[in-house]
Amino acid sequence: MPFKRYVEIGRVALVNYGKEYGRLVVIVDVIDQNRALVDAPDMVRGQMNFKRLSLTDIKIDIPRVPKKKTLIDAMEAADVKNKWEKSSWGRKLIVQKRRASLNDFDRFKVMLAKIKRGGAVRQELAKLKKENAA
């Protein structure tokens, strides 16, 4: 019931609206009730409304408004990239991106693979049913 992910310095968030859609950023300072100063290794530090951010579980240890180099080192130390890609949220996004980039031929191959997998599952099920009935 209580909140688990807080807006704090070092909180990693996902941008969910606007030009930077889909990018992972770190909250580096809070400007006022609605806006945060936000930074990422390959981005110019800038302000963003909290409404554009979705907080993640990941938090790193940084002082308020760190230099870019400090930020990058802290992100490496906390291994943000790997933690994100292993998390279920991160994995889902990767799969969505892969599905959207599928070629027409790729989609055909996926269909064949799904049919094959379904066939294998049904075969096993039939076997089990027979054993159970006997």
DSSP lists the bridge partners of residue 38 as 27, 46
Q: CB–CB of 98/91 below 8 Å? A: no
Q: How many residues bind another protein (CB under 8 A)?
A: 9
Least distance in angstroms from the C-beta of 103 to another protein: 6
Return d(Cα 61, Cα 121) in angstroms, integer: 47
Binding part of the chain for another protein, among 3-11, 32-40, 48-56, 103-111 by CB under 8 A, reads 103-111
DSSP lists the bridge partners of residue 36 as 30, 48
Please report how many Cα atoms fall inside a 13 Å half-sphere around the Cα of residue 63, on the Cβ side: 5
Q: In the set 1, 33, 42, 101, which binds another protein (CB under 8 A)?
A: 101
Return d(Cα 38, Cα 12) in angstroms, integer: 9
Binding part of the chain for another protein, among 23-31, 67-75, 94-102, 120-128 by CB under 8 A, reads 94-102
x/- letters, 110..129, toward another protein (CB under 8 A): --x-----------------
**102 interacts with another protein by CB under 8 A:** yes
Binding residues (CB under 8 A) for another protein: these are 100-105, 108-109, 112
